[in-house]
Structure 1
Amino acid sequence: MNVIDAIQTRYTTKAFEPGRSLPQASVDALLALLQYCPSSVNSQPWHFVVASTAEGRARMAKATAGTYGFNESKVVNASHVIALCMRTDLDAAHLNAVLEQEARDGRFQSDAAKAGQDTVRRTFVDIHRYEQRDMAQWMEKQVYLALGSLLTGAAVLGIDATPMEGFDSRALDTEFGLRERGLTSVVMASFGYRSEEDFNAKLPKSRLPREEVFTFI
């Protein structure tokens, strides 16, 4: 399936068929989409919690209790659920880890090139930390870039998916000890096989017309 066909036919799955698991090759493809997605100055300010077992999904589902109960079935009946999390800060340890990984991957032809990359990245980090004072929002934007890559890739792979902001991030953070690790959850996404009871599968896609969403100059 080409990417345009995939985007035009994908939709948000409202009901998954319980008990069906994605093949490992499909799961590995989803993980690769996250690992290699773009981020501003390659900052990679994220971490991903993957629930692949009934026990793991049940732990994820604790964050859908009460107000967000309408999303519980989308978590427990899916094959895999991924919580996309962001760092609470881009500290020196993380920036150094990214830089050294780039060096191991052969991105620098000289020490000067390595130092230059480090300076550029830290400059942007400092802009968002001090001048714009929007570090959290900037990192959150990178997580949503990851989500976009993930959903588009899932569509191309023919994997049914549901992105969800409807969950208690404090409950999820507590369940997995995220805040103690300098992380906080942003959004979740479930993957698996649509149920025959999924009403959304039968509805036509609806988007605003092209003339309303594009300006050509």
Structure 2
Amino acid sequence: MEIDVFWSFRSPWSYLATRRLRHWQEQYQLQVNLRVVYPLAIRMPEFFDQVQPQWISYFVTDVFRVAEFLELPFAFPKPDPVIQLVDENGRRETAPDQPYIYRLTRLGALAEEMGASIEFADEMSSLIWGGTKGWDQGDLQARAAERAGLNLEEMDRRIIAEEERLEAQIEKNQTDHEHSGHWGVPTCAFKGEAFFGQDRLDVLLWRLKKEGLQRR
């Protein structure tokens, strides 16, 4: 049995879902196909111009609350994986120069091909969103990749040499995401059904068990 998970490195909700999904793959006869996509700030930067004024305050409250409930460390990352500029009215605009998110997403796409997508996503998102200061500095990312069984130096070489192919893979992920039944992340897809958000994982597990999911 397998599920697709459409997932972004810039999404705290993706981070908060990943540890459970990784445990499912370890505990059940389940293949978790974690498929990276670019975040809304890259794909649909105008999205943030259309949200209700209460959205950001509720979002901040809720994400810390859910992290505490799940007993996962959480802090907004510095630097932000997507650089945004804020004008005098508080409106956010995605900056033209993005030193982090393209590399991270291509690394995630390569990890998919190497059969370690959920492990890499878990370790790297834990580094980014788990309160580590300067997650982009030193050997922190290399050590996170190593915990996932991967060699970051080799991966960095490959994402440069294979950029066009990896971008095509990310584009396919995004197209399949759009056809899955939802546009947000994380979205899990199983047999034509979409389960959006980390708060739908229990419902997804119930569905998988109804379909015959067995423990390893």
Question: Aligning the two structures, in what range does the TM-score lie when normalised by the shorter sequence?
Answer: under 0.3
- Select the structure of larger CA radius of gyration: 1
* Larger RCO, structures 1/2 (Cα 8 Å, 6+ apart): 1
Give the TM-score taking structure 1 as reference length: 0.27
Give the TM-score taking structure 2 as reference length: 0.27
